[in-house]
Structure 1
């Protein structure tokens, strides 16, 4: 089967115009979604490039709303090309007999049979179209509702138009903006967030934190467990990721083409869980109790170290037991911490000297302290910290998927940094210290969290502080239960460094084609051990057959990876733990 040639049009002039006025061009984040999936594509920075190469599918991420752009896009589709837009290309509406309707703020998309994992998927912004004069025939998919799942309908969630020999598939929802702002918050953190109406999450505590800016709804996006614990139940950003990639794969299959992609986890690993600790209190006996418990349950974990930390023999034992030593940056003013690059550097220098480390892979901020938008990620970049874990709940009432995701993801900068991608992998956490009296959620959240993570191939990341492990048998038992239930659900436990190393290794794989034997070819770099590719079967939605799996709602067959040189290469020094 021939591989589809995919282009992503991110018009540089249109982006420069936005940045000039201090506006974001988050549209470029579609490239990160494709990179994360391992789907090959080419960037286009000018609509004229559509005339230079025969692209089968083009995602119009950001375009100029000009007559010339409309003409080129229309000609491309008429000649057989397939266009995709996420809430854009409004200048094309009139040529199709449509017009832009009133823009919609937050709401919910109902996909019905077209997406089975959620009855309603939250979005943050949409630009629906309405019929105007002599509307062209089209197919409509789903509906969008204003403000709440049962709100007033604002039209179809997606229109599919035939244009000559080609097509336009246009989502009403600005999907890319929605994913970014769900994951990173609606705005930079400048002040306290609004507390939960039921009193379960008093965010207005005078401390700037990651969860002071979230884009979820207290009423519509939470559920309660059988013991009455409220939690954010829906990884909406991950749902949108699946909807976008699944639609793309099916569109290619409908043209008799395929878009192979890289498996999220190595062969033999279906689901990944993670346990991290924050060394608050910094007593050696807290560490020893945690070392003993982790040895009992047979899990290596990530230890985020807060100044002044432990004694040197404890660090040596942590390393000897196979755990990861990570950074716990403290910007909490009440503990004489301070937000800023200089203080981050000072504390980081302390850790590397105290624990005798030549490199540190991960960070998590103390008390989830957070300011601004991307400054923390820039701090991490400056010191070679490749992964951050700060984005998680600081209160009992907002545990769960409060940032709409459990996927490791690359964050994007604000407009003042031209919306670049940071060289950091964010691995957020779901909850802290289960069964710690009434201060945190109880163990009833474990099952829904694991089920939610398993449904989207994310990471089930649980945080347990050493001080509470030492002092509370209930917390120790909760950790034991997390490990036991996770293993029953098929999860493998990795450290933050292992997750980061794997995700970075797989993202380096660049698919270039399919060979005659059905293997997926990649550019000459070494292939990490366990890496596999998936190839959607023709038409992509057939019943599953033996040897196939469902990915992004599409039936796919697993294929080996082969370097362009012709041999299957493996990078054996990348540790891949597959045992349960």
Structure 2
């Protein structure tokens, strides 16, 4: 089978025009989804380049909706190409025998392409089309899934996916703007300028006068939370990760239907399906609490990430932390009540203190004190400037908003606001699920099992935060961290530090799949030295002599890259 040539059309003239008028082009995030999945693709900068690139699949992220471009897209499909759009292609509405319905700002979709339906997925923007009888212009239409307006039990508002057969090819149009939805789940509905809306039950008082990451969540307190058997509330679904699976599954199936294949790279090394990580915030900087935490981690047999806030521990503590294999990281303090400030100069000063205190030239990770966050992009700018490659700030600050409140447990590279051209930041975000379980003011450990099960479902990162001071002073918290480790290990999780996750994610993204060889294996360059990276190759059912494994709803064969590891640290 030949490897499909996939392109994402991000027309630069159209993108710049939108930026000039203050609009974001978050549709560009489709590239991040494919990059994280290890799917080979190329960017198409101009509509005029579509024909000469000899593509098999074209994902239309951004273009001007006028007749000339409509004709280019139509011709591409008519001659055998496959087109994918996420709530776009307004210029082809009538030609495809449809009419546009009113935009839906929020709702829930049944979007599964598998026989077993997934649960309804929340979305944040949709532009549904309604088919008009007798006006299909010879385009054969297949409808899949459905939209519900506003709430899970809301009014039905059309199909989630319409698939049109055009000549030798096809046009598949999702009503949901999936990339836009992903960005707002993961990075918030808008820049953080004021307090968020609290939960009516009092469990999520985010309106306390401190600007934080969770002041702009895109989830609903009523529709998107559930409770454990102890009545502990939590956000239950990794919606963003499930939408990414929808995107990937649809693309892979479309390629197979063309008689082609599209290899992709597993999220984790061979033998690892899910990763857990534990981080700590030093806060009160009590040496005894650090000693107690070191003892607990030694008993558990894991390494963790220690986010240090000024003035820090005594110097001998850092030596012990490093000797035990733990990661020392930054805990930027912008809380005015703790003499902090949201200011780049203050970030610079505190970071300089940290490097001197721990004796390090490189610090990989940061998590902001109190999850304080302002605006959209300043924190990522500051991290980039200082070579900080990971941020962990996006997590819950209240008992009632724990879980998947940003819709994801996968590491990802955030996207900038339009004033920076919607570029990708060179900062890997690893959000956390909850902090200090069984703390007398916070959530209890009944959430551990459902959190781990959901992370396993999407092969993400189960990130738990425990403060050293609570490990020392509250025995239930000490027991809770031990419970997390035991429950995770029972389910086959591997524990990594934030730095290990970062190093692996960046290394696997360097793997470049260039095609399929005569032995039906992927040709790989720029990353062949990455030992244990797994390449999955979709195949037709019953077409391979090797073992078939179902991945993203399609049959695949497995290929493991086996050269010695040279760039990744020892993984525990």
TM-score category (smaller protein): over 0.9
Distance 1:473 1:343 in 2: 35
Deviation readout 1:287-313 (Å, 9 max, x if unpaired): 000000000110100000000000110
Distance 1:119 1:526, change over 3 A: closer
Q: In the alignment, which residue of structure 1 is the partner of 2:537?
A: 535
Picking from 501, 504, 510, the partner of 1:508 is 510
Are 1:413 and 2:416 an aligned pair?
A: yes
TM superposition shift of 1:112: 5.5
Match of 2:278, SS state, is: strand
Are 1:2 and 2:5 an aligned pair?
A: no
Picking from 481, 484, 487, the partner of 1:485 is 487
TM superposition shift of 1:58: 0.4
TM superposition shift of 1:133: 6.4
TM superposition shift of 1:559: 1.3
Written as runs of structure 1 = structure 2, the 5 A alignment for 1:16-415 is 16-111=16-111, 114=114, 116=116, 118-132=118-132, 134-136=134-136, 137-415=140-418
TM superposition shift of 1:510: 1.2
TM superposition shift of 1:425: 0.4
TM superposition shift of 1:132: 3.6
TM superposition shift of 1:553: 2.0
TM superposition shift of 1:525: 4.3
TM superposition shift of 1:574: 1.5
Distance 1:554 1:385 in 2: 37
Distance 2:545 2:407 in 1: 32
Does the aligned pair in 2 maintain the 1:266–1:576 contact within 8 Å? no
Picking from 455, 458, 467, the partner of 1:456 is 458
Distance 1:9 1:188, change over 3 A: same
Match of 1:455, SS state, is: helix
Deviation readout 1:441-474 (Å, 9 max, x if unpaired): 1010000000000000110000000000000110
Does the aligned pair in 2 maintain the 1:512–1:521 contact within 8 Å? yes
Match of 1:51, SS state, is: coil
Distance 1:212 1:203 in 2: 6
Does the aligned pair in 2 maintain the 1:125–1:174 contact within 8 Å? yes
Distance 1:336 1:490, change over 3 A: same
Deviation readout 1:394-434 (Å, 9 max, x if unpaired): 00000000000000011000011110000010000000000
Deviation readout 1:305-360 (Å, 9 max, x if unpaired): 00000011000000000000000000001111011211111000000000101100
Distance 1:484 1:302, change over 3 A: same
Does the aligned pair in 2 maintain the 1:323–1:495 contact within 8 Å? yes
Distance 2:519 2:147 in 1: 44
Distance 1:82 1:519 in 2: 24
Distance 2:75 2:337 in 1: 62
Distance 1:192 1:425, change over 3 A: same
Are 1:474 and 2:476 an aligned pair?
A: yes
Instruction: Name structure 2 gaps, 5 residues minimum.
Output: none
Distance 1:117 1:305, change over 3 A: farther
Distance 1:427 1:543 in 2: 38
Instruction: Name structure 1 gaps, 5 residues minimum.
Output: 562-567
Q: In the alignment, which residue of structure 1 is the partner of 2:557?
A: 557
Deviation readout 1:225-265 (Å, 9 max, x if unpaired): 00000000000000000000010000000011000001100
**Which runs of structure 1 show a deviation greater than 4 angstroms over 4 or more consecutive aligned residues?**
542-546
Does the aligned pair in 1 maintain the 2:3–2:260 contact within 8 Å? yes
Match of 2:250, SS state, is: helix
Q: In the alignment, which residue of structure 1 is the partner of 2:568?
A: 574
Name the count of aligned residue pairs.
569
TM superposition shift of 1:543: 12
Deviation readout 1:56-80 (Å, 9 max, x if unpaired): 1100111110100001111111100
Distance 1:237 1:106 in 2: 14
Does the aligned pair in 2 maintain the 1:509–1:527 contact within 8 Å? no
Distance 2:567 2:391 in 1: 24
Match of 2:158, SS state, is: strand
Match of 1:307, SS state, is: coil
TM superposition shift of 1:116: 4.4
Deviation readout 1:5-41 (Å, 9 max, x if unpaired): 1111111111111100111001111111111111111
Match of 2:145, SS state, is: strand
Distance 1:270 1:288 in 2: 32
Distance 2:178 2:518 in 1: 37
Distance 1:113 1:455 in 2: 17
Deviation readout 1:133-182 (Å, 9 max, x if unpaired): 63323000000000111100110000000011100000000000000000
Q: In the alignment, which residue of structure 2 is the partner of 1:565?
A: none
TM superposition shift of 1:544: 12
Deviation readout 1:259-280 (Å, 9 max, x if unpaired): 0001100012111000000001
Does the aligned pair in 1 maintain the 2:270–2:560 contact within 8 Å? no
Distance 1:75 1:145 in 2: 33
Distance 1:33 1:112, change over 3 A: closer
